[in-house]
Amino acid sequence: MPHIKPNTDPRRKCLWIADFTPAATPDNPKPTRTRPGFMTKHEAEMEIALRGDGATIPLRAEMTLATVVAWYLLFERNDRRVAPKTVEQYEAVLARLLVPGLAEKPFSQVLPGDLDLVLAPRRGTELSPKTKDEYARIVGRMVAAAMKCGFANVNISGAFVRQNAVHRHPSARRIPGETDFRAVRDAASPQALVAFLLLTTMFIGPDAISRMCWQDVDFEKGTVFLPIGSGNGSEPRPGRLRQLPPELETALMRLRARSFVGCLSDPLIVSPEGKALVPGDVAHLVHGAQVRAGLVAAARRTDGSGKVQGMPRGRFSIAEFVEAAMRDRASTVTSLLILADAVNRSSTESLQRFSRHLKVLSRKAAPAATLGLMA
């Protein structure tokens, strides 16, 4: 049986022995028993938690809270592909639990009251209700993952999450509808239309749009390269190659016909002064198209006399248009993983709110004839 025990062999310069059989992998389809040595029990537990086969699952219930926290952070980073910065935030929250006396406690023996340490004041400052809600949800996700993978059998975080939950009222802002999208597309200039379609059909941000050039568009193959990150001069720019939607392809062809393109490295969209756009210019283009379409914000900046100041603003922000477009895209797919790929996101962590908009597969019973064939 797999086990972790202190080393009693004086020939081995270690303090703990992890005796187990690793899980099968493509590189090692038929693993054999192994007995690596470690200087700490935590290292031995992590070795089995990360590499052990199904027979080692009973050992997981005996592993310490510190081991489960370390395993969970690796699980989020490597299995769920959560962004590194998000994992760092999780680590900062869960580190509040790793106090002497609790970190070495078996995870299966951790009590619901122990989780309150996450919400303890720091330097005399109480956490806000919203922060408590976020921290409690992080703990809840860790406990749920630990239960799924055999580290615990009881959900100790359910009441903890519910007690610290902040009721989220539906947003009062109006989400643009298809009529608003159509009005902006009809009224937009060629530059604004391309920017608007890149935002709402390719789902890239203003920064990526400002760095696009004409070499990113291949009309012959019907593809467009969407840059991600800035890259550097010695390596190819990181990004994704996507098929051009017909509407975006038509808009790009019209823009090219009206633009002076000296070489393929010229910016895709230029400012009225003929310079490459900065990210803020993309928002100005979208707001200008909204104003021409009559979608003007009701609230405007005024001075003390009540006189309107500044340029008129569009009724909707870029984020609101992108949110509405993502909802529409979510209604055409059946999982968040498919949605993440469609909207150019590296993980589903930021897309959880769209789960209620996903397409539901039909659960109708199979016809009798089909059932007969299946028998």
Strands 16-19 and 37-38: antiparallel
**Phi and psi, residue 22, nearest 5°:** -65, 155
Q: Is the pTM of this model over 0.85?
A: no
Print the domain residue range for 292.
178-321
CA dihedral 68, 72, 74, 77 (to 10 degrees): -170
**Domain assignment of residue 168, yes or no:** no
Residues paired with residue 122 on neighbouring β-strands, in sequence order: 125
At residue 77, the 3 state secondary structure works out as helix
Q: Within this chain, do residues 128 and 79 fall inside the same structural domain, yes or no? A: yes
- How far apart, in whole angstroms, are the C-alpha atoms of residue 198 and residue 211? 12
Query: Could you tell me the two tokens for 6?
Result: 């202190």
Predicted pLDDT at 298: 56
The CATH number for 228's domain is 1.10.443.10
- Looking at the structure of the chain, the number of domains it has is 2
**Phi and psi, residue 239, nearest 5°:** 175, -170
Predicted pLDDT at 109: 86
Q: Within this chain, do residues 65 and 190 fall inside the same structural domain, yes or no? A: no
Q: Within this chain, do residues 26 and 136 fall inside the same structural domain, yes or no? A: yes
Q: Within this chain, do residues 159 and 185 fall inside the same structural domain, yes or no? A: no
- What amino acid occupies position 152? A
**Domain assignment of residue 332, yes or no:** no
Q: Within this chain, do residues 131 and 205 fall inside the same structural domain, yes or no? A: no
Q: Within this chain, do residues 239 and 295 fall inside the same structural domain, yes or no? A: yes
Q: Within this chain, do residues 204 and 152 fall inside the same structural domain, yes or no? A: no
Residues paired with residue 17 on neighbouring β-strands, in sequence order: 5, 37
At residue 213, the 3 state secondary structure works out as strand
Token match 């016809």: residue?
367
Query: Could you tell me the two tokens for 336?
Result: 């968040």
5, 16 Cβ separation under 8 angstroms: yes
Predicted pLDDT at 358: 85
Q: Within this chain, do residues 216 and 255 fall inside the same structural domain, yes or no? A: yes
Q: Within this chain, do residues 104 and 253 fall inside the same structural domain, yes or no? A: no
- How far apart, in whole angstroms, are the C-alpha atoms of residue 342 and residue 158? 33
Residues paired with residue 74 on neighbouring β-strands, in sequence order: none
Q: Within this chain, do residues 85 and 183 fall inside the same structural domain, yes or no? A: no
> Which of 102, 137, 163 finishes a domain?
163
**Domain assignment of residue 330, yes or no:** no
- How far apart, in whole angstroms, are the C-alpha atoms of residue 7 and residue 298? 74
Predicted pLDDT at 262: 65
Predicted pLDDT at 178: 92
Predicted pLDDT at 308: 53
At residue 3, the 3 state secondary structure works out as strand
Q: Within this chain, do residues 200 and 120 fall inside the same structural domain, yes or no? A: no
**Domain assignment of residue 341, yes or no:** no
Q: Residue 273 burial by CB count (10 A; 0-12/13-18/19+): exposed, middle or buried?
A: exposed
**Domain assignment of residue 331, yes or no:** no
181, 193 Cβ separation under 8 angstroms: no
> Which of 304, 321, 338 finishes a domain?
321
Q: Within this chain, do residues 133 and 258 fall inside the same structural domain, yes or no? A: no
| C-alpha separations of 71 from 23, 58, 117, 135 in Å | 16, 16, 20, 18
Q: How would you write the pLDDT of the chain (375 residues) with one tens digit per residue? A: 677 778 787 888 788 788 777 787 787 788 777 777 777 878 888 887 777 777 777 777 788 898 889 989 988 888 877 878 888 889 999 999 988 888 888 888 888 888 888 888 877 778 888 888 888 889 988 988 888 888 888 888 888 888 887 765 545 557 899 999 999 999 999 999 999 999 999 999 888 898 888 989 999 999 999 987 555 454 566 788 999 999 999 999 999 888 776 677 888 888 767 777 888 888 889 888 999 998 887 545 555 555 555 556 788 888 889 999 999 999 999 888 899 889 988 777 678 788 888 887 654 444 544 434 443
**Domain assignment of residue 13, yes or no:** yes
- How far apart, in whole angstroms, are the C-alpha atoms of residue 164 and residue 324? 30
For the chain, where are the E strands, in sequence order? 3-6, 16-19, 37-38, 217-218, 223-227, 239-243
> Which of 139, 163, 187 finishes a domain?
163
| C-alpha separations of 189 from 28, 32, 157 in Å | 59, 66, 53
- How far apart, in whole angstroms, are the C-alpha atoms of residue 265 and residue 10? 67
Which residue in 314, 246, 257, 310 sits closest to 282, CA to CA? 314
The sheet carrying 223-227 orders its strands as 217-218, 223-227, 239-243
Predicted pLDDT at 278: 84
Predicted pLDDT at 374: 40
**Domain assignment of residue 371, yes or no:** no
Residue 316: other Cβ atoms inside 10 A: 22
Q: What's the N-to-C CA distance of the chain in angstroms?
A: 41
**Domain assignment of residue 352, yes or no:** no
Token match 């009590």: residue?
111
- How far apart, in whole angstroms, are the C-alpha atoms of residue 116 and residue 101? 15
